[in-house]
């Protein structure tokens, strides 16, 4: 099919699209590993987000979603195009629609993650002015069963000032572009969000000479089998101890693994490996970011007859 004559209609996703979308996911991920079908209802009912599909001649050929994470921060996810229709500009249309939608809503920072080998997505990023702002490596570790050796302690609101000072300007924070993970999405770690994490019991730390030397934030998930680490920071030696402490915490909680998508920073990588974690994926994950100003962008100037 010629890319120039393909007539693509972009419209809001509907409940009735579910089976067709699931079939696309199955065609892309033949082992059935795609998370999208499980999130279908949640995404459909997400009033703060925009969930769209692409149709060609009445046939569903692609899906994509923009999710509101916090304040003026948004996340793109669930971009899928049916293999038979790939390479014809459909993902570009879906992404542009979600970017345009954010411009119209008043703007904000928009991010997404993809792996280092996903060339079409790297090109899509460039097309809409996204910058590659952080790289993550995927690590895993076994729980450390047996005697507890690390004095890991839960952090509270009283630790906020020390925790915030430790993070500010650290090499780890710079490598992460000041982002922390909220289970497969990343957003800016502000002082307010850090306070919130500590209040809900998601922060752990270790002290040296009565001073906080390293801290970890955990992802807030309903996963019981894994301890998912969201962010760590601190001195190199303290980090290795802290990461070992997280393996002990995983054992205490009955988890069967620790998972950590760690910002690529040399001292952190050393500490991770010293603490017995191994890299579980041969690719890196890249986070891309763009800022969409409020109002219309130039691409909106020409009328788009085939979009809702
Ligand atoms: C990624 C995906 C959505 C792209 O959909 P698509 O409709 O084929 O993309 P487009 O046709 O709009 O092409 C986007 C860009 O990638 C390029 N491209 C397309 N297929 C490519 C390929 N196989 N290799 C390299 N570049 C490719 C296009 O030329 C275009 O770049 P350009 O604008 O500079 O010309 C689709 O491949 C897909 O569903 N992949 C599996 C799921 C996935 O990886 N989703 C993204 C998760 S982050």
Q: Concatenate the DSSP letters of all residues of 26-41 into one string.
A: HHHSTTS--SHHHHHH
Q: Is 28 in the pocket of ligand 1 (CB under 6 A)?
A: yes
Identical fold for domains 8-107+293-300 and 137-287, yes or no, is yes
Please identify, by atom number, the ligand 1 atom nearest to the C-alpha of residue 87.
Answer: 11
Q: What is the pLDDT of residue 281?
A: 96
Phi and psi torsions of 223, nearest 5°: -70, 125
The Å distance, Cα 40 to ligand 1 centre, comes to 22
**Residue linked to tokens 């780890």:** 172
Look at residue 303 in the predicted model and tell me its pLDDT: 35
Predicted pLDDT at 180: 98
Please identify which residue in the block is written with the tokens 């430790």: 166
CB of 119 sitting under 6 A from ligand 1: yes
86 C-beta closer than 6 A to ligand 1 = yes
Distance 12 CA to ligand 1 centre (A): 21
Residue 304 pLDDT: 38
Shortest-distance Cα residue to atom 46 of ligand 1: 79
**Domain assignments of the chain as residue spans, ordered by start:** 8-107+293-300, 137-287
Which residues of the chain, if any, have pLDDT below 50? 1, 300-308
Angle between helices 90-105 and 119-127 (to 10 degrees): 40
pLDDT of residue 2: 52
Contacts of 238 (CB under 8 A, 6+ apart): 206, 208, 213, 214
Task: Report the residue among 30, 120, 123, 288 best suited for mutation to probe ligand 1: largest number of ligand atoms under 8 A from its CB.
Answer: 120
Query: What's the CA-to-centroid distance between 264 and ligand 1, angstroms?
Result: 26
Ligand 1 atom with minimal separation from the 120 CA: 16
pLDDT given for residue 308 in this prediction: 36
The residue among 238, 237, 239 whose CA lies nearest residue 229 is: 239
Q: Which atom of ligand 1 is nearest to the CA of 92?
A: 12
The answer regarding whether domain 8-107+293-300 maps to CATH 3.40.630.30 reads: yes
Any atom of ligand 1 within 6 Å of the Cβ of 283: no
**Pick from 54, 50, 131, 39: nearest CA to 86:** 54
**Nearest atom (ligand 1) to Cα of 112:** 48
pLDDT tens digits for range 280-302 = 999 999 999 999 998 866 554 43
How far away, in angstroms, is 119 Cα from ligand 1 center?
Answer: 7
- Which of ligand 1's atoms lies nearest the C-alpha of 115? 48
Q: What is the CATH number of domain 137-287?
A: 3.40.630.30
The per-residue pLDDT for 143 is 97
Question: Is residue 127 lining ligand 1, measured as CB closer than 6 Å?
Answer: yes
- Structure letter (DSSP) for residue 152: -
């Amino acid at each position: 099919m010629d890319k120039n004559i393909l007539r693509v209609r972009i419209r809001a996703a509907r409940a009735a699209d579910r089976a067709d979308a699931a079939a696309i996911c199955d065609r892309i991920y033949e082992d059935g590993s795609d998370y999208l079908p499980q999130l279908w209802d949640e995404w459909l009912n997400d009033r703060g987000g925009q969930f769209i599909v692409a149709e060609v001649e009445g046939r569903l050929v692609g899906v994509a979603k923009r999710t509101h994470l916090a304040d003026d921060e948004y996340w793109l996810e669930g971009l899928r195009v049916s293999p038979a229709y790939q390479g014809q500009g459909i993902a570009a249309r879906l992404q542009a629609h979600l970017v345009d939608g954010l411009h119209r809503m008043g703007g904000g920072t928009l991010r997404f993650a993809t792996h280092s080998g996903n060339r079409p997505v790297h090109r899509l990023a460039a097309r809409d002015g996204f910058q590659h702002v952080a790289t993550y490596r995927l690590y895993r570790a076994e729980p450390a069963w047996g005697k507890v050796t690390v004095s890991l302690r839960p952090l509270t609101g009283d630790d906020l000032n020390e925790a915030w000072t430790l993070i500010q300007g650290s090499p780890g924070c710079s490598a992460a572009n000041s982002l922390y993970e909220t289970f497969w999405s990343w957003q800016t770690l502000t002082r307010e969000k850090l306070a919130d994490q500590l209040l809900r019991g998601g922060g752990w730390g270790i002290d040296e000479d009565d001073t906080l030397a390293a801290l970890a934030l955990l992802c807030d998930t309903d996963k019981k089998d894994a301890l998912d680490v969201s962010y760590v920071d601190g001195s190199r030696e303290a980090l290795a101890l802290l990461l070992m402490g997280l393996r002990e915490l995983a054992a205490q909680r009955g988890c069967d693994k620790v998972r950590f998508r760690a910002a690529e920073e040399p001292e952190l990588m050393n500490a991770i490996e010293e603490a017995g974690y191994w890299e579980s994926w041969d690719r890196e994950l890249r986070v891309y970011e763009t800022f969409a100003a409020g109002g219309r962008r130039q691409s909106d100037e020409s009328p788009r007859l085939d979009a809702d």
